[in-house]
Copies of this chain bind each other. A is one copy, B any other.
């Protein structure tokens, strides 16, 4: 809530890497639009609206770079194409198996920092990844009225 939005890229936020038009466009797609966790191909389609000359390989490169510098997060669901999101707060993902939609689920504060599960002694924990699957409210409503 009290976070600084600052959804703007700069050479410093990129860790000294170049602020190119392509990187800006890719980042804008992620923060400006529906924030629906698009895949690389979807980012590519939307990016072409802003910059018709951009290539898919560059979109992949930019997404990789932005992930590396911590500006965005890569979200992997099973073997499907990776999706990308600009929400840097610790959060889980809910995946609707009907509409393929993905939404962020805010984690309770006590689950952000450490694992609520018993890890072997001496384990160094870096990251917890939580994905939930099911049917979203909209799809449930739709399936009932058929």
- A contact set with B: CB distance below 8 Å: 74, 76, 78-79, 82, 92, 94, 97, 103, 105-108, 111, 115-137, 140-141
Q: How far is the CB of A94 from chain B (nearest CB, A)?
A: 6
Given contacts A108-B116, A122-B140, 12 further A-B contacts (CB under 8 A): A76-B76, A79-B82, A105-B118, A105-B119, A107-B117, A108-B118, A123-B135, A125-B132, A125-B133, A126-B133, A128-B131, A129-B132
Contact at B134–A131, with CB atoms within 8 Å?
Answer: no
B residues less than 8 Å from A76 (CB atoms): 76, 78-79
B residues less than 8 Å from A106 (CB atoms): 117-118
Q: How far is the CB of A136 from chain B (nearest CB, A)?
A: 6
Contact at A132–B108, with CB atoms within 8 Å?
Answer: no
B residues less than 8 Å from A111 (CB atoms): 116-117
Interface residue from B123, B132, B137 paired with A137 (Cβ < 8 Å): B123
